[in-house]
Each structure stands twice: as C-alpha cells, then as structure tokens.
Structure 1
Amino acid sequence: MNKKQWNGLAFFLKDKRKKNYLRIVYEFFYLWVLKKEIPWYYFKFLYRKNISNIEDYLGTKEAYKVKHCPKYHRKEYIMVMDHKLSFSLFCKENNIPSTELISYNFRTNFYLKGKLYKINDHNELEEFFNQIWMMTEKDRFFVKPISAYGGAGARILEKSRIKVGLPSLYEELVGGDFIHEHILLQHKEIAQIYSKSVNTIRFETFIDANSNVHVLSAFMRFGRGDSVVDNASSGGVYVGVNMDNGTLKEIAYEQANFGNEDYPMHPDTQFVFGGFKIPFFKEACELVKLSTEYLPDRYIGWDVAITENGPVILEANQDPGIFTSDVTYGGYLNHPIYNEILDGVKDWVPN
C-alpha cells in the first residue's frame, strides 16, 4: 500500500459510517475474487453502510485499462490535451468556447501578442505585467502551469498585490512553463455557492464503435476555504449531477486525505446542493459532444465552466478521475453502455 492508501485506511478505521467488520471482510474477499485484484479501493467508499451494490463499482484494473488502452486513446490527441497551451490554441483555432489566452512563458522567455520578452529579473517581470494590465484594462489574471494536474501551481495575480513577494514569484515562473489567462466570470447563481474559484463541471464522453458520442456522466466541483481552484485533489468538494435535468444530487464528497466527509451543504457558504439546477446544462452537454467531434479521443474528461453567456471549455483530460465519476454516478457498471466500454479493453494487456 502507498501513503495515500494508508491514509484512506486510517480514515476508514475512524469512520462511524462503516459496515460491521464481518460484512467488510466478506465484501473485501468477494471483490478480490470477482475483480481478480486486491481491492484496496474498497476502503475509499464502498465500506459504507449505505453502499450495497459494491460489484457495480469499477476495480483499479478496469479503470486503468479504460484510461490507458491505445484503443481508446491516441498519443496525438493526448499531446493536445496534456499541454494546456496547445489545447488553448486548438480551441481558438476551432472556435470552441474556452478561456482566453493573454500570454505565456517558457521559463525566462515570455510571449505577448507575438512578441518575445527576455525576463532576467523581477523588475523586468513587473514591467511585463504592467503591459498586461494596460492591454487588458483588468487588474487580475490567472496563471497555471502548462503541464500540471489537479490545480497544482495555479494562482490569481492581482495588480494591487503584485509587488508583494515578486522576487519569489519571479523564481517560480522562470523555473517553469505557464499560461496566463483572463479570469472567467462564472454565472452568478453558481458564484452564490462558492465565489473564490471558478467551479466547473467534469463531463466524461465516450465514442462508441459506431462513432456515436455519449455523455456518460457529470459531477460538479467547488473550491472551499480561500482556494482559487475547485479540484478535489486540492481540497475541493464534488457532487454528482442528475443527467436528465441538470440538477445537483443531495450529497457532495471530498477525498479521503482531506477528511472523507459528506456535505449536504457547501462547508463555507451553507448553500444546499440538492436540487440546484445548473444554468445552461443542456448547452454544456451539447458543447462537450461537439468538442469531442473536433478532438476525437474515444474517452475524455472535459472541464466546463458556466458563464452568464453559456458554457466554456477549460480543459480536456485523457486521464480523468474515473473513480470520482464512478462514485457520483452510483457505480459505473449500472451505466447502460459501460459494459460495452469494458468489453472493448478486456483483451488489452498493459506492458
């Protein structure tokens, strides 16, 4: 077991929602035989008293095959998705609604409106930022690493506070590669739930053997505390979406290493999740289906924000959090086409 699995086990031992130990032992060995693997994932969620359909949830091997089988993923498409600058330019080229790129940098090389700037110290960095403030006529923008995951390294830069810690910010930016984007103004109804991050919907899409695009499921993520990102891996909470009407389900969850609690309300704002109708949900479903036509990897996780004018694509992920979708859906093997998805990878043996 790795550290994360040990942490999950520790939370399980303290959790009062767990089944009796005899039942747990039985189910653990039942899944071991059924899935032909040691089911450590059981201790993330399936040990709870209210979960009776344990065989409907994906095993680790099943999820790995879906995420990595070459039958579902081409390296050319993965390169576009994994590189945030490439993905931003791809969306712009194909008129896919997405966050607007301002500038970017490859270490000390900064690029703005087709011009290269060599940034050699924090004073030159401040001058570069001043050009952005003047050009955009806005006092904030969003910076995130080109190749990071889970919101790692993302931050908002504000004009009024840019001098604070500028030398350390300089070291961070020139030590990596970043894109610099306009900050989206999310829909005011969603901002009522949590306003400090842009709260996104994760959709998963699948292209079947007949080239039909399916929107498999959706869940919505919310930041908390003072976080400017909504990722569950950065401490955010996530809640499933009813696909038939675009409303949030009753309970939001968090990852085990952040406490593994359930939340009927947002922990900061006390906004009740259940029944909240996501604005432009139908349009968001249509957008990810259309985007899949342009970027035809067969299994993609799409991150979508909702603005006052409709949905906007933030990212596409070849390696989405399938276990998270599995939990919020209520067991992916209950899905009408997921057995078809697994049948497509059953004969693939990872190297």
Structure 2
Amino acid sequence: MAGFIETLKAEHFEYRCPVTLPLFSFACGDDAVSQVHRHALNLRRAGKRGRGLKVAFLTVLWPLAALVIAVQSAIIIDRKKHDLPLSRWRLGILFWAMMVRHNINVESTLRFKLWRPKNRRRVTEFIQHVEIIKLTPWLYRDRDVREIDSKVAFAELCQRHGLPHIEILMRITAGTIEQSVETLPRQDLFSKFDGWWGGSGGLIWIYDAAQDMWDAGQGPLDEASLRDHLRHLSATAARSDTLIVQSLLRNAVEMAPYSSGALCTMRVVTTKFPDQSAQLLRGSLRMPVGAMTVDNFGAGGLGARIMNDGRLSNAGEKFAGRRTHDSHPDTGARITGATLPFWDEVRTLALTAHDCATDIYSVGWDIAWTQNGPVIVEGNVVWGEDLLQMPDCEPLGVEYCEFYLSAKEASEHSFDS
C-alpha cells in the first residue's frame, strides 16, 4: 500500500497543464512574471502546429483532470506530516483551485504553503521547480557552462583568477589517478564526485595523527590504502564521473552555532550581463543538522534567507513536513533575526568572482566562512529555486523574472549572431 501511495505522489504531485490556457491568471498579462510563466510552458512545444486545437481541448479537459488529481492528492497526503490545518475536503478544493487558476501543482502548493492567505496572495510570484528545469537549460542552450558546473573545471577557473577556493589534491577517473599531490596533507580530507548533486557520494576522512591514518567510518587507512580505496570507489561508482579529494574546511567560530558539525555554506546567487557589473539576486544560509556530513537543502539540511543587511529569516526544511525553525535544532542557536557580521565580505567575494571569472548570466556561489575568511566551495548554474523561496515563503517573483527576460533577450541576440 505504501508503495502504491508513493507512486501516486510521484505521478500527481508535480503534474501541471502543459500549455497556457485562458483560465490561467498569467495567460494575458504583460508583466514580467506572466511572461516568464508563459515562456516556461512554451518551451515544452516543438512547434505551433495544432496549438489552437490543443488549447481548446485542454480548456475543457484540464479542470476535470485537475479535479481527479486534487481529490487523489487530498486523500493520500499525510496532513499531520505537512502540518496542514485544512480538512481533506478543503485541501482538495485548494489543490484544484491552484491548478486551474494558476497552474500551480500540488508539490508547489505544499512547498510554498499556499493554504496561508499571505502566501496565496502572492501565488503568481513563486517560480516552480518544473519551470526552472525548463527555463535554465534553454537560457544556456548556446553556452558552455562546464567551467561552473564541473567541480574540476571550476577549481581551475578559480585558480586562474586568484579566487580563494579549495585546492584539488587528487583526481581519479574510472579507477585511474589522473592528478595528485605527491603526499597527502596530514589533515582531515573530503572526497566527492564531480557531477553528483545534493552532496551525494561525499565522504569526510578524519585524520588520526597518532596512527597516521584516515577514517571515514569504515576503518582506518594509511595513505597507500586510502589511495587504493579511493581508486576502488571511483572504479565501482554507478557513474563514471571523476572523484576528487580536497582538504576538509571547517567553520569559523562565528559560523559554528549554525551547524551540527559539518561545513555551512552560503548560496549567493548573482546575475551578470556582458559589459556590466554583477548584481546580487539573493542569498541563503545552508545549515547541516544531526549527523549530516554536508549542508545541502535537498539532503535534509536547513535553509534560511539572508537579507541585504545580513539578517536571517527563519530556517526551513525541504522535506520532513517542511517545518520551520527559529533556532538550530541541535545547537539551540537563534536563527530568525540573527545577523551574519561577515555577510558583506561574502557578498563582495561572490560579486568579484562573477565579474572577473565568467559571463554566465547567473551563478549560485557556495561560499564558506572559515578562520581565514570567505572561501568559494562550488559554483552552480542551476542554483535551486527551492532554497531561495521555501524557508520564509518569499517568492523570487519580479526580481527573478525581470532578470530572466533580460537574459533571454541577450541570449537570443547571441544565438542569432
């Protein structure tokens, strides 16, 4: 039964109408948000042939299909887990109304807590995951984004431009060591796969000076054994991506209260157009909880929006009922309203990096605050709209959509030329 319910969720929670219908609130608007919503749907179609007939057909069918999805979703959802104050009847009506009026799927209704009147009043300003995964690849259809998305290429990019980053100590592909320092530094290390998302495959190797060995929880290894083990991990991985080894960064004292032990990073999203200076779009603090070895929002970590003055919103979870927290559940440190005194330095580093290193329209910089100051950990072309919107349900709205339309125009000009 549980498997059947999960299948239904996978099929229905993220489903939405594939074309713009006259029913939708953004169908005819000239504002930036409406244009971006329509553009995301237009990207699903290879051509315009039969468009009018399809729109007419779905204008009649979609309310009925949405009703079926809404009823099924309201029946199978765990209201206690999601802290839903509505009866199943009212919840079904909400799901149906969001789908028919705004093409907001069930998953987004839950993510952005649209049963709350305050959030529902701004419903059109939220950017859904199903939109971002269409919008971003299209924007970079003529651009090589590997220098940002590849951890190896990104480290080389930072090195060329003198940006503070984590040096790659060893690089292994398909079991073959392609690059390595002569001797591994006697300190804690971190290994991860290039191209793997959400912190998956990451391992912390704790160094024991007394034994001169590293241990990731499966028994201590000397340097030769560690190299062999890493080669084995690379050779037997489900994907053929490169395994990299880096020094393990630690949080500075000021950042320690926001972590259960692993490294915290700030996701700083900047935008830039050719011959212009980079601008800040939004920032978020990512916080590990429990026994996590990474801070990724999608891996179970907390996220909090960073306001322009460095103050934090409440923290939120992506899963587990999408609970919110005013304090860190492990350390007890206050999050909501707390100020990051180093925010200006972190923001400046992100803007400087974007100005000097790349002309990609938008980058999400993961920056750690260490005892030596800010250090860039990774760059992301797909920077996670969920982390930026979910914690305090603050939509990207006009801010993102005006940027996107300008980038769209620039990309079309570049593509045509």
**TM-score, normalised with respect to structure 1:** 0.80
1:197 aligns with 2:262: yes
Structure 2 SS opposite 1:320: coil
Match of 1:106 in 2: 173
1:45 paired with 2:45, answer: no
Q: What residue number does 1:274 align with?
A: 336
Name the SS of the counterpart of 2:379 in structure 1. Answer: strand
1:13 aligns with 2:79: yes
Tell me, what secondary structure is at the counterpart of 1:159?
Answer: strand
Matches within 5 A, 1:258-273: 258-273=320-335
Following TM superposition, by how much is the alpha carbon of 1:23 offset from its aligned partner in structure 2, in angstroms?
Answer: 6.1
**Structure 2 counterpart of 1:137, from 186, 199, 215:** 186
CA offset at residue 212 of structure 1? 4.0
Amino acid at match of 1:164: G
Match of 1:330 in 2: 394
1:303 and 2:372 correspond: no
Distance in 2 of aligned mates of 1:74 and 1:98: 28
User: Of residues 237, 240, 245 in structure 1, which corresponds to 2:302?
Assistant: 237
| Structure 1 residue aligned with 2:132 | 63
Shift in Å, 1:69: 2.0
Post-superposition offset of 1:195: 4.8
Q: What is the number of residues matched between the two proteins? A: 323
1:171-220 deviation digits (Å, cap 9, x = unpaired): 32333421111112321111122152110111112225873422111111
Alignment match of 2:123 (pick from 45, 54, 57): 54
Alignment-mate amino acid for residue 261 of structure 1 = R
Unaligned segments of structure 2, at least 5 residues: 1-7, 15-72, 209-213, 222-227, 413-417
- What is the Cα deviation at residue 37 of structure 1? 6.2
Q: CA deviation at 1:153?
A: 0.5
1:121 corresponding residue in structure 2:
none
> In the TM superposition, what whole-angstrom CA distance separates every residue of 1:252-283 from its partner, at most 9, and x where no partner exists?
11122x34221111111111102322242112
Residue 18 and residue 240 in structure 1: after superposition, are their counterparts in 2 closer, same or farther (change >3 A)? farther
- CA displacement, residues 57-93 of structure 1 (integer Å, 9 cap, x when unaligned): 11345423432223x56542x2112221111111111
Pairs within 5 Å for 1:101-180: 101-113=168-180, 131-132=183-184, 136-138=185-187, 140-160=188-208, 161-162=214-215, 164=219, 171-176=232-237, 177-180=242-245
- In the alignment, does 2:175 pair up with 1:95? no
Closer/same/farther in 2, CA of residues 27 and 313 from structure 1, 3 Å limit: same
- Give the structure with higher Rg (CA): 2
Q: Distance in 1 between matches of 2:105 and 2:253?
A: 45
C-alpha distance in 1 between matches for 2:406 and 2:179: 48
Amino acid paired to 1:64: I
Q: Which moved more, 1:223-232 or 1:187-196?
A: 187-196
| Greater RCO (CA < 8 Å, at least 6 residues apart) | 1
Q: Residues 62, 173 of structure 1: CA spacing in aligned structure 2 closer, same or farther, 3 A cutoff?
A: closer
Distance 2:273 2:90 in 1: 38
Identity level (%) = 20
Tell me the SS of whatever aligns to 1:142.
strand
SS class of match (1:304): strand
How far the C-alpha of 1:154 sits from its partner, in A, is: 0.6
Checking the alignment, whether the CA contact within 8 Å between 2:315 and 2:336 is kept in structure 1 is no
Q: 1:267 to 1:12 in 2, by over 3 A?
A: same
Please say if residues 11 and 260 of structure 1, whose CA atoms lie closer than 8 Å, have aligned partners that are also in contact: no
| Equivalent residue in structure 2 for 1:291, among 348, 353, 356 | 353
Could you say if the C-alpha distance between residues 219 and 48 of structure 1 is closer, same or farther in structure 2, counting changes exceeding 3 Å? farther
Are the equivalent residues in 2 in contact too, given 1:24–1:47 (CA < 8 A)? no
1:234, 1:157 → 2: CA distance?
19
After TM superposition, give the deviation of residue 342 of structure 1 in Å. 4.4
Equivalent residues of 1:217, 1:325 under 8 A apart: yes
Relative to structure 1, is the Cα distance of residues 114 and 324 closer, same or farther in structure 2, using a 3 angstrom cutoff? closer
- For residue 91 of structure 1, give the secondary structure of its aligned residue in structure 2: helix
Question: Aligned to 1:215, which of 280, 286, 303?
Answer: 280
User: Compared with structure 1, are the counterparts of its residues 6 and 338 closer, same or farther at alpha carbon in structure 2 (3 Å cutoff)?
Assistant: closer
Residue 54 of structure 1 and its aligned partner are, at CA, apart by 1.9
